[in-house]
Structure 1
């Protein structure tokens, strides 16, 4: 049976944040830049903030009809989060905020195509890994960007993700390492 993907709504925020929190709790980047104490709660809360304050009002976010996978895309012209949301993001990063700030400064030197949307996040529940759900979410979200003629970019900290993204037309354009944590910047032209 084909996977049904639909736009994420505010009613989906808690479930979507749970999915992404679990998906990114042990991800190299979030392990490195989000405080260790109460780590899963912090990562889940960060994902909810990004979905609620960036993806939903300014970008595109999707969830499958079974509530097991999420994808979020953010346009290049999305406004920065409010001071209140930024303060909450800083609080959630905790004692690792300085790491994040230094890394973001270094990463700002990596290229981003003009007008490109950011593939901000994609994640599935552990039980859904390997079922094709991530592929279905990617195909759906990127098809929407292609229809509008938008290029896309992303950062990933897991080498095994490179092959998945390359299957969708992304190419590595830069690589940095932060205290042993790799980050690959990838670009994709609109099809």
Structure 2
């Protein structure tokens, strides 16, 4: 069964949200924002759907990975150079969906988002891997690798660096295999979890 990567479209949003919600259900940041598992189970797909619809899709960096039967097993949300920060319009359009996703936890979600945004490097211009995940059914199937290689090959061709935050310390070594290095720690306030900022310089082709 082969792995294929393609650009996501608007019609893919429900499936992308489902896959990412599955992938991030036990993520430390998501658990911090939604301590109650049932609220997290309802909130995660709503959150990802809002982010994809009102931000990531427009930047042309939303990609999905399918198995040989066309079943979506993984997704990656990349923001292009200069496009990582949400516009005022995008933020306004996102607000009703975020209220539905977070409910009374909206303030916690906003604090996490603000902390991560404040730590984001401004220069040099770069591709930003905002989110990448594989469904439980697809783990170990090479979907994450295919998604990373798809965009990192473009980064190398364009001579542009890439940036991400790892919300699990165990994943640092995985990203290091693709050329990312830890550049700092991002601590969520009020006793929240730690994220690791990671940066990757483009790989120059050998003459």
TM-score by length of 1: 0.88
Give the superposed CA RMSD: 2.1
Picking from 94, 110, 113, the partner of 1:85 is 94
- TM-superposed deviation, 1:150: 2.5
Q: What secondary structure sits across from 2:52 in the alignment? A: helix
Q: Does 1:160 align with 2:161?
A: no
The answer for unaligned runs of 5 or more in structure 2 is: none
- Pair member with larger Rg: 2
1:77-105, Cα deviation, whole Å (9 max, x unpaired): 35422413134224422333333333444
Equivalents in 2 of 1:39, 1:71: separation in Å?
20
Equivalents in 2 of 1:109, 1:6: separation in Å?
31
Equivalents in 2 of 1:44, 1:149: separation in Å?
34
CA contact (8 A) 1:34 1:94 kept: no
Q: What secondary structure sits across from 1:84 in the alignment? A: helix
Equivalents in 2 of 1:57, 1:30: separation in Å?
24
CA contact (8 A) 2:127 2:160 kept: yes
Q: Give the corresponding residue for 2:153.
A: 143
The answer for unaligned runs of 5 or more in structure 1 is: none
In the TM superposition, 1:87-166 aligns within 5 A as 87-110=96-119, 112=121, 113-166=123-176
Equivalents in 2 of 1:107, 1:48: separation in Å?
20
TM-score by length of 2: 0.82
CA contact (8 A) 1:153 1:185 kept: yes
CA contact (8 A) 1:19 1:68 kept: yes
1:132-160, Cα deviation, whole Å (9 max, x unpaired): 21111111121122222322111121011
Picking from 171, 184, 187, the partner of 2:199 is 187
Q: What secondary structure sits across from 1:115 in the alignment? A: coil
